Structure 1
């Protein structure tokens, strides 16, 4: 017997958009009474993701008490609905309450933000999207959706990573908890109006690496020795769990919710539906792991299209694999540093390599509008290998260095007064020399990177003299 399924929409959407998905489920064994469509406010400026998740918790509990929602059920979410679901799961875990959810199918979830959130908060966004809502577009929710938002940093510490200062923390995912599945497209919008928001490595709205829930984190502490920083990987709550990710070649952000239709470039019309049903029918963790391996093959098949010489250069670029790095700079007292600088280059400070990285490989840097101490770096992994590493002929010197500096807050205080901090970075499948710890970047992945920069007062800040 098919389990009950709750479907959650994304920002500026409603449950009306998911009638076709509900019909698809009905046609495949999920009877109409088993599918529930959730609606929530996303366009009123004061409503936060946390408000929606708290109200959802109360509604689900009430419906369970009434007997209309089962004690255990599954969920399908789209876009911002992924953040709502994760917050709800994290809240229950924080209260020590069992989560009634088992399978969480995430369709193009904005787990780690969307580049369009800033546009939604802009004056033009308020005119175009908020004209029928007193020019409100959901500022609080868009703040959470913005790339490198403090909210995403906080949520990741609630459900993915063990908080700093703790030795361990239970994971809400895997084992007896929730089984997440992520399906996202890698094809941009094709209609003329929406083409202006497209970016490679995304579905037009959400980046593949921002959808993938398998995030990584690391702290680089320059406070003791700027030339030999302490590198500490963040501990995952469930390090053994790898959550399935499928990247589809023919779906954009809208068509990812329509398994009843063909993809935008006439790819396999049945694959999306097959993946949704496969996730909802997953029976145990062994099968969950097997699904992950099958979906990896799909993802790599999509990625190989970047090398298809039969397609034009622009079309191949759709399928480049990216990673993004969410950087947060703080001083050694724990205070955010808003004015800091990152420079990437070769081991020998080759200006040409530095120029290649910053113009061709590093595609975009997005400072967070609410807290400039956080920023998101969007890196084209294909170009990293094909344009950057290929320029380095010595195989033992295929190195990418990260140099960190920060503008002094005033004449009496300095950052990194012993010189700029440097560390070596490497990506998958590249052999590099590295005796400063491992800073490894994975494709299709979001990496959280906390930089601790020493704050040093000048000598004149305090003096002590012998009394005359």
Structure 2
């Protein structure tokens, strides 16, 4: 492989290039060894971008990245392509840059980036972003002498409209671009950990110890293998009686589902998000000792065509299955004096529900419930299935973080000694579904109750472990008679107490 131009891009709220630690130097040192890709040390750049000012938004960063990149490429030569290695928010920044400057402009064949290697990227956001915008986050930023970075945090908040927009294009539009098969291929990789560095655990902020994450970003939020499902209520039929219409609209219908192109995703053993001991980037030392992050990056850099990319994608998938096997799920934390703490690292999944109506408006007044069992009862859901739930106030989107093992069932987990059982077997309770509950009373504009139609047998096959699924639920916006009337009575009349009538078709 020819010498590579390598550009590093850091994450949110970083104020110094020491955030990269010894990883750049280590990769340069690895290039001198035989059998690996050659890295040209003279063409290695460390990104510095401003995310700690509230006025800066993600599109501003992608625009600024393009401006900073062009002189570097001009100096490197017309034929030079670059490898980009990002950490955390750096992943979405570069993805947004690629989307704006090469996908939306239909210039993907001219993109100078050959490899995008994302370390713990917040591709679907981070649960911590909502807290970063809170008063506590503002106080911390004040002590650090910076601003919280409201503009970037808006993008990073789970279920944000900006993140959903980019990721929906990734799922629905990007597959037909066949990026790995073009004459100028582009290879994307996600490397993320699921280890919690207990030394960095913040008791005020339990997300820093969240199972299924690296303490900041969930595996499901990092992974670019994702799906988009659309469910909808039937349309209103003109002149239909109110009881008949309510009954017919009670069933949600399946419209379609789409899946992203297969993307190389690696769970890096022993890696947390940050920190010098376990951080996926900061823990790398330029000492020549084996390191899981360095090994994974070098494997990514060796990819040169669609065949080798597909082979590495499959290899990563097999390794992930071993990493999350039943025998590897138990973590025991030794605590002085007190009893040891046990953690079970079950695979999790993230689901973003977008509740929209037939006019494209959000429907924040309805309540969404997950159900289980043949009676579609929320009370039958297995214990521990829901790890977290967040509501995005700007978009109205609702994000569920689900224990996938609790939903699918899980064999007993062995204890630390032969013959011991750390956790008993979990039994699944299918089929899983959902219900939409409307607000009480009669209203002139309504969204009615509904649930999964019988043609959709089970919600579970739509949701994969370590992945995000965006589910659009399109509700019919019901306008009732009486919302607007005309009268020929010229005598003054009050219509303050008008009651809603039938359905306007």
Tell me the TM-score normalised to structure 1 length. 0.84
- Residues 90, 172 of structure 1: 8 Å contact kept: no
Partner of 2:7: 6
1:309 shift after superposition: 6.2
Shift of 1:303: 1.1
1:256 aligned residue: 280
Give the drift of 1:420: 2.5
1:314 to 1:378, Cα distance in 2 relative to 1, 3 A: farther
Task: Tell me, in whole angstroms, the C-alpha distance in 2 between the residues paired with 1:60 and 1:83.
Answer: 17
Q: Which moved more, 1:338-347 or 1:120-129?
A: 338-347
Partner residue in 2 for 1:390: 427
- Return the alpha-carbon distance in structure 1 between the equivalents of residues 426 and 476 of structure 2: 32
SS in 1 for 2:273: coil
Root-mean-square deviation over aligned CA pairs:
3.1
Other-structure match for 1:137: 148
Corresponding residue of 2:252: 229
The equivalent residue for 1:297 is: 318
**Residue number in structure 2 paired with 1:123:** 135
Secondary structure of 1:160's counterpart equals: helix
TM superposition shift of 1:147: 0.7
When Rg is computed on C-alpha atoms for both structures, the one with the higher figure is 2
Aligned to 1:24: 26
C-alpha change, 1:4 and 1:67, in structure 2 (3 Å) is closer
CA contact (8 A) 1:8 1:81 kept: yes
Q: Give the distance between the partners of 2:268 and 2:440, measured in 1 at CA.
A: 46
**8 Å Cα contact 2:50-2:56 kept in structure 1:** yes
| Number of residue equivalences | 436
TM-score (norm 2): 0.78
* CA offsets 1:240-276 (integer angstroms, 9 cap, x no match): x3111111231100111146359xxxxx943221111
- Per-residue deviation, 1:448: 0.8
Partner of 2:499: none
- In the aligned structure 1, how far is the partner of 2:310 from the partner of 2:124? 23
C-alpha distance in 2, partners of 1:143/1:409? 35
Could you tell me which residue of structure 2 aligns to residue 412 of structure 1? 444
TM-superposed deviation, 1:122? 1.0
1:427 aligns to what?
Answer: none
For 1:202-213, list aligned pairs within 5 A. 202-213=213-224
Q: Does 1:442 align with 2:464?
A: yes
Change (3 A) 1:206 1:438: closer
Q: Is 1:186 the equivalent of 2:188?
A: no
Matches within 5 A, 1:100-119: 100-119=112-131
2:35 maps to none
Unaligned runs of 5+ in 1: 263-267, 393-397, 425-432
CA displacement 1:404-428 (0-9 Å, x = unmatched)? 2333797212212xx433347xxxx
Q: After superposition, what is the alpha-carbon deviation per residue over 1:326-350, rounded to whole angstroms, capped at 9, x for unaligned?
A: 1111111111112221112224336
Which of residues 146, 149, 160 is equivalent to 1:149?
A: 160
Alignment check: 8 A CA contact 2:232 2:254 kept: yes
Deviations 1:409-468 (A, max 9, x none): 97212212xx433347xxxxxxxx845899611111011111111121223224578999
Q: What SS class does the counterpart of residue 148 from structure 2 fall into?
A: coil
